[in-house]
């Protein structure tokens, strides 16, 4: 039986690892703050003392951390991934990072004889709990094929996009579109309320038309109630906007609408809303 490692017990990682445990897999977990591992240990997972310990013990290790800096820390830091990776001890990074970070990880792990797959996900807290995430994978095709059963446990769909870096690009573009679309909804809803229109009726009419989508249905009630429990923290969305902007600069592709939306998220971050759900951007719009 394959032993899976999992690094990062945040909102997403803990739910993903829990699904692997429930499916009867041997799972060893690690988190920067050890108490984050407690619920998984209660379920039957074991706890590693460091990323190196997890990677060197597991056959395949998943990582789900916040940003490129966090990935760098768990890989290059003391007792990090690079000290434990090697033939038969591979890494799958599910974090949302830039393509350059993924390319470097792939190259450095290959030097150690380990395979690398980037597999960022679309979906937030509830899909992670339900095991209905979508995995965007790129890197070593053989590793993708080997871990397909685990991806099937944690998600409803997984696709292979080619060389390392391509999945990161796709994920950033998807999140930039998502964040920009939500910002437009917030502006429209704010205008409707200022126009003495019923916000709930606006959402109902949008849902009946060409722009009907699950995000509007999922976030609309939160906007009306002005309650924003964190499913996808705003600080992470703004990070994704930043990385998308850097990608557009490198490739010479203007993204003016996305850039304007990013300014709204930057303002929300500056006002202290970073740990709230990204739908809290409504507070700076209204």
Q: Of how many residues is the chain composed?
A: 286
Contact status, residue 12 vs residue 64, Cβ threshold 8 Å? yes
Catalytic residue of the set 171, 219, 235, 239 = 171
Helices 166-194, 99-111: axis angle to 10 degrees equals 150
171 catalytic, yes or no? yes
Torsion sign, CA atoms 234, 175, 261, 211? negative
End-to-end alpha-carbon separation of the chain, Å? 53
Contact status, residue 81 vs residue 75, Cβ threshold 8 Å? yes
Report strand pairing: 60-63 vs 3-7.
parallel
The three-state secondary structure class of 224 is helix
Q: What are phi and psi of 135, to 5 degrees?
A: -100, 130
Catalytic residues: 171
């Amino acid at each position: 039986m394959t032993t899976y490692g999992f690094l990062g017990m945040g909102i997403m990682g803990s739910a993903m690892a829990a699904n692997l445990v429930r499916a009867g897999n041997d799972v060893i977990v690690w988190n920067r703050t050890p108490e984050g591992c407690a619920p998984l240990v209660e379920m039957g997972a074991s706890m590693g003392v460091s990323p190196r310990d997890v990677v060197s013990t597991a056959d395949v290790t998943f990582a789900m951390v916040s940003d490129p800096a966090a990935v760098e820390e768990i890989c290059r830091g003391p007792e990090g991934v690079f000290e434990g990776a090697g033939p038969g001890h591979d890494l799958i990074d599910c974090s949302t990072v830039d393509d350059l970070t993924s390319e470097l990880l792939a190259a450095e792990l290959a030097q150690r004889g380990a395979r690398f797959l980037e597999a960022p996900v679309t979906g937030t807290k509830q899909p992670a709990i339900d095991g209905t995430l979508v995995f965007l994978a790129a890197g070593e095709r053989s590793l993708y094929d080997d871990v397909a059963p685990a991806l099937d446990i944690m998600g409803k769909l997984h696709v292979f996009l080619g060389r390392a870096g391509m999945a990161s690009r796709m994920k950033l573009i998807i999140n930039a579109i998502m964040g920009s679309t939500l910002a437009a909804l917030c502006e429209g809803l704010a205008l409707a309320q200022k126009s003495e229109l019923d916000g709930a009726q606006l959402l109902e009419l949008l849902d009946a038309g060409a722009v009907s989508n699950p995000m509007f249905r999922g976030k609309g009630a939160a906007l009306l109630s002005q309650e924003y429990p964190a499913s996808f923290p705003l600080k992470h969305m703004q990070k994704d906007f930043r990385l998308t902007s850097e990608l557009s600069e490198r490739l010479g592709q203007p993204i003016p609408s996305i850039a304007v939306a990013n300014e709204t998220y930057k303002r929300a971050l500056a006002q202290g809303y970073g740990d709230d759900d990204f739908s809290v951007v409504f507070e700076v719009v209204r």
